[in-house]
């Protein structure tokens, strides 16, 4: 079993992946870092030289490979859940946690991250805040469909968020957070209801 963290950039996926992995005694990985390793160049260069479709193809392949692993906390890229097959793989592999923050908070966090401009290209011709608002609206349905749990990252420290996520994972009846799945991957009506409740926060 594994955990996948999804959400827009600067919602804390990488930081929380590291903290949760330490608590579980698992490994963790940032999917964007793995994409760059396989491509041999930064994400911004992949977009500039190969185009977004090529990047999304590579991203989907990386997600497929990582979702086959066990005892892993995965920090997925912001657009990774857009492909239905990737959403299915994430949900079958284990709980998916959707991290959220307001557009204003995301913009502030991005501005404080020196790697944002060099690693992650702008995806539209809009202003930074308008792009965040636009992409959040476009991606919301995919995030909601993929997630078992939704966690608001506003006004909490990473350690507080890790505590909250661990507590909420324990409430998911279809998962044993210690690493043993108690049910098959095939969703039941109860699973669907739990997933809907979790996605609604």
So what CATH class is 2-199?
A: alpha beta
Domain boundaries, the chain: 2-199
Q: Do 101 and 152 form a contact (C-beta atoms < 8 A)? A: yes
The CA–CA distances, whole Å, from 67 to 8, 70, 95, 164 equal 20, 8, 11, 24
Mean pLDDT per block of 10 residues along the chain (201 residues) reads 96 97 97 97 94 96 98 97 98 97 96 72 81 96 98 97 95 63 36 37 36
Find, among 191, 188, 182, 195, the residue nearest to 149 by Cα: 195
Q: Do 172 and 165 form a contact (C-beta atoms < 8 A)? A: no
CA distance 190 to 179: 21
Positive or negative: CA dihedral 111, 115, 118, 122: negative
pLDDT of residue 183: 37
pLDDT of residue 120: 66
């Amino acid at each position: 079993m594994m955990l996948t963290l999804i959400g827009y950039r600067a919602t804390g996926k990488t930081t929380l992946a590291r903290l949760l992995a330490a608590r579980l005694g698992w490994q963790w990985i940032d999917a964007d870092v793995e994409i760059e390793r396989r491509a041999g160049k930064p994400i911004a260069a992949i977009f500039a030289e190969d185009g977004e479709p090529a990047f999304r193809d590579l991203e989907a392949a990386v997600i497929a490979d990582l979702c086959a692993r066990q005892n892993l906390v995965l920090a997925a890229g912001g657009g990774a859940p857009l492909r239905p097959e990737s959403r299915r793989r994430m949900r079958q592999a284990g709980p998916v946690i959707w991290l959220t923050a307001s557009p204003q908070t995301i913009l502030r966090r991005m501005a404080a991250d020196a790697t944002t401009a060099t690693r992650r290209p702008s995806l539209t011709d809009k202003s930074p805040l308008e792009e965040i608002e636009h992409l959040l609206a476009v991606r919301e349905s995919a995030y909601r469909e993929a997630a078992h749990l939704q966690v608001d990252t506003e006004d909490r420290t990473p350690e507080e968020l890790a505590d909250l996520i661990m507590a909420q994972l324990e409430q998911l009846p279809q998962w044993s957070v210690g690493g043993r799945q108690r049910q098959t991957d095939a969703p039941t009506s109860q699973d669907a209801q739990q997933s809907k409740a979790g996605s609604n926060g």
